[in-house]
Amino acid sequence: MPGETKKKNLLGLPQGELEALFVELGQKPFHARQLMRWIYQRGVTDFEAMTDLSKSLRQRLAETATVDVPKVLSQHDSSDGTIKWLFESGSGQAVEAVYIPEAGRGTLCISSQVGCALDCAFCATGAQGFNRNLNKAEIVGQVWHANQTLPRRDNDDADFAITNVVFMGMGEPLANYRNVVPVLDLLTSDLAYGLSRRRVTVSTSGLVPNLERLGDEFNVALAVSLHAPNDDLRDELVPINKMHPIASLLDACWRYAEKRANRFVTFEYVMLDGINDSLKHADELFALLEGKPAKVNLIPFNPFDGNDFARSSAETIGLFQSRLRDRGLVVTTRKTRGDDIDAACGQLAGKVSDRVRNRLSEKNKRMATA
């Protein structure tokens, strides 16, 4: 309506800002705590239903604020229990969240950006280019929606079906630091989702300055998308490497691990047939990680239209894994989940058109086939 001021969306607002809002309304700041429990723990978005707030306060809130959750475009249920949701993100685009149930835990994989600017050669999100950062409401809203939709667990005492949250959906979380960190706070806040910092993982392709900052400010679990054991190859697979090469990235990782009482950093390594999956690559990788608080997670490549990469064979992945394991490194291979609903990381939000290409230089193609 003309002249009407836009109502403030309270979803994703840090506790301090909510408290300030109540003070502005002439109220006591502790109402922020009540409101957070309503929104995140009980999933209530209608102020009228927040019965421990006074009638007049509820009315005041309804006049000035809203709790706007992201719009869900679709939900896809895989035969293996994996669930994918697509969320509307403007201009006909979507971002996605994926829930992966496993024995004793349920992991929600969430997105932080619409597209991604970092343009990793094997990534469908990168191929889409960068559109924009998600705001706090859009990021935490993925968790809000999944939590509302998922049945409560009746085994262990958790009443929350999501036991872990990983930023491994679309986008580079450390390129959207200003919105991601307040969401980390909500994920771990007792007034919201109450997860321990060990159970919230930021995955980054290596934005070193923000990685250092995260270590100082909000030390959650860390996964690093390494994908290559030398700068020559990594420059091509993960172009941000040209700005922050492996040595500086690993230095930052070890400092990060130290600040977390030497908890492990997980290194993700996508297995690309004939590109980075030889035993020589495994030996180089071992040399980088030997004696460090490092785990390796091998990810079978998820193919998508428009590039020439292929997934390494199960045999090659097995040999690569044993080569590292035999020398004492902790290595796991990610199980592919939700294949029937395109739910794998890097497969996101429908078919990607345009800019996909195979850009590996002739030099690295020759090295890979040598």
83 interface partner picked from ligand SAH, ligand SF4, none, CB below 5 to 8 A per type: none
How many residues are there in the chain? 370
Rounded to whole angstroms, the Cα distance separating 290 from 49 reads: 56
Please say which residue, 357 or 366, places its beta carbon nearer to ligand SF4. Answer: 357
Enumerate the active-site residues: 96, 345
**Whose CB is nearest to ligand SAH?**
346
Please say which residue, 38 or 177, places its beta carbon nearer to ligand SAH. Answer: 177
Say how many C-beta atoms besides its own lie within 10 A of residue 160's C-beta.
Answer: 15
119 interface partner picked from ligand SAH, ligand SF4, none, CB below 5 to 8 A per type: ligand SF4
Residues that bind ligand SAH (CB under 6 A): 120, 122-124, 168, 172, 203-205, 225, 268, 270, 299, 301-302, 345-346
Please say which residue, 36 or 114, places its beta carbon nearer to ligand SF4. Answer: 114
User: Using only C-alpha atoms, what is the Rg of the chain?
Assistant: 22
Shortest Å, Cβ 160 to ligand SF4: 27
Residues that bind ligand SF4 (CB under 6 A): 116, 118-120, 123, 125-126, 171-172, 205, 225
Strand order in the sheet with 200-204: 72-77, 83-88, 94-102, 105-109, 164-167, 200-204, 221-225, 265-271, 294-300, 330-333
Please say which residue, 113 or 147, places its beta carbon nearer to ligand SAH. Answer: 113
Shortest Å, Cβ 124 to ligand SAH: 6
Check residue 312 and report its DSSP letter. Answer: P
Please say which residue, 31 or 311, places its beta carbon nearer to ligand SF4. Answer: 311
Rounded to whole angstroms, the Cα distance separating 166 from 344 reads: 13
Shortest Å, Cβ 328 to ligand SAH: 23
For residue 64, what are its two tokens? 């000035």
For residue 286, what are its two tokens? 């071992």
Task: Answer yes or no: are the C-beta atoms of 224 and 191 closer than 8 Å.
Answer: no
**Whose CB is nearest to ligand SF4?**
126
Rounded to whole angstroms, the Cα distance separating 115 from 124 reads: 9
Return the residue matching tokens 């349920």. Answer: 106
Shortest Å, Cβ 237 to ligand SF4: 9
End-to-end alpha carbon distance in the chain: 67
Rounded to whole angstroms, the Cα distance separating 185 from 264 reads: 21
For residue 221, what are its two tokens? 């679990």
Shortest Å, Cβ 216 to ligand SAH: 20
87 interface partner picked from ligand SF4, ligand SAH, none, CB below 5 to 8 A per type: none
328: alpha, beta or left, given left = phi > 0 and alpha = psi -120 to 50?
left
Shortest Å, Cβ 100 to ligand SAH: 13
Please say which residue, 172 or 235, places its beta carbon nearer to ligand SAH. Answer: 172
